Amino acid sequence: MTDATRRWLYDDLAADYDNWFDGEGKTVFATELRALETILPGLPRPWLEVGVGTGRFARALGVELGVDPSIGVAELARDRGIPVLRGRAEALPLRDAVFGTVFFIFCFCFIAGQAPALAEAHRVLRPGGKLVMGLLLRDCRLGGLYDEKKQQGHRFYSQATFCTFPEVRLLIEGAGFRVERVLSTLFETPEAADEVEEPYEGFDTAAGLTVVLAEKLLK
């Protein structure tokens, strides 16, 4: 699928995706947010979210700027007060070494060039800057479920590339980062989640979602 087609697909699905978090996905969103908030203290600013989507996480976390290739989701993000630049994760329209922290929040599996995207995050970060990733992983319960949906041609997940935790760690380290902290959360299925969960330290395949904090190293 071309980048243009990929953007058109997500433009078309933007409202459905966003509305899910206001309904049956409300508790899932709160659980994801809780895990991300756990690692926020001390993260250097300014903050950039790559694949900012509808701006739901950016607004809740206080991210100053987003980048996204999709016109539809960018409009929703701007409605939430998040400035958005149109661009791809693999070629960020930004200068070198200007950000303190770069976020990839549950969008990494939808990025076609994952290694180039991490290289770009490294480029735009200042020395010692931080990388925060919220991940759906193939070797975790929820990511494995979505990977099955991908094989079945799901309208949203059919375009995803789900990695395992070791694969993502190799990509992160290969891009010039050192993993500092890993959190696991969402041990209930999205359908069964009825209360906000506290994240657990470390990687756990029984979890639905994984959060990784890494530091930029000088190459």
Could you read off the pLDDT tens digit of each residue along the chain, which spans 219 residues? Answer: 444 434 445 566 666 667 666 666 689 899 999 999 999 999 999 999 999 989 999 999 999 999 999 887 888 899 999 999 999 999 999 999 999 999 999 999 989 999 999 999 999 999 999 999 999 999 987 777 667 766 776 666 767 889 999 999 999 999 999 999 999 999 987 777 889 999 999 999 999 999 999 999 986
- Residue 96: count of CB within 10 angstroms of its CB: 10
Given the DSSP bridges, would you call strands 65-68 and 47-50 parallel, antiparallel or unpaired? parallel
Split into its structural domains, the chain has a count of 1
Expressed as residue numbers, the domain containing 108 is: 3-216
For the chain, where are the alpha helices, taking DSSP H only? 3-20, 26-38, 56-61, 71-79, 114-124, 141-151, 165-174
**CATH no. for residue 51?**
3.40.50.150
pTM of the model: 0.90
In the structure encoding, which two tokens stand for residue 139, read together? 């070797």
Q: Rounded CA gap, 203 and 206, in Å?
A: 9
